[in-house]
Amino acid sequence: LFSFLVFLRYQIYYGYPLQTYLEYPIIIAQDVILLLFILRFSGNMKRALFYAITFGGGWYMLTLRKWIIDLAMNLCTLISAASKLAQLRCLWQTKDSGQVSALTWSMSAYTCA
């Protein structure tokens, strides 16, 4: 979600045409809805306010200075790779792949790379 937010903000900041980033608001909305469902069904709905404030503050802070948005854009690849490593670590520790299929994992790893 962080990467999508940074990509969206970066492209808005630099004035790219809407057609080049139109899918990001849709993906972000899907991720936010999924996050809300996870919080709701895990009983942590109180955290939703924290995430909303973090989202709003981060959205504003990304464009305080040009170097901040540029640095965030460069760190997106590192953050995406780190999230995949965290998922692998969790799978390794639990020794249970659950609902992870080889196809979805491959597609996710490909898009990250």
Per residue in 13-61, pLDDT tens? 899 998 888 888 888 888 888 888 888 888 888 888 888 888 888 888 8
Closest CA to 7 of 24, 22, 19: 24
pTM value is: 0.65
In 14-101, where does DSSP find H-type helix?
23-42, 47-61, 66-94
Tokens, residue 56: 């709003």
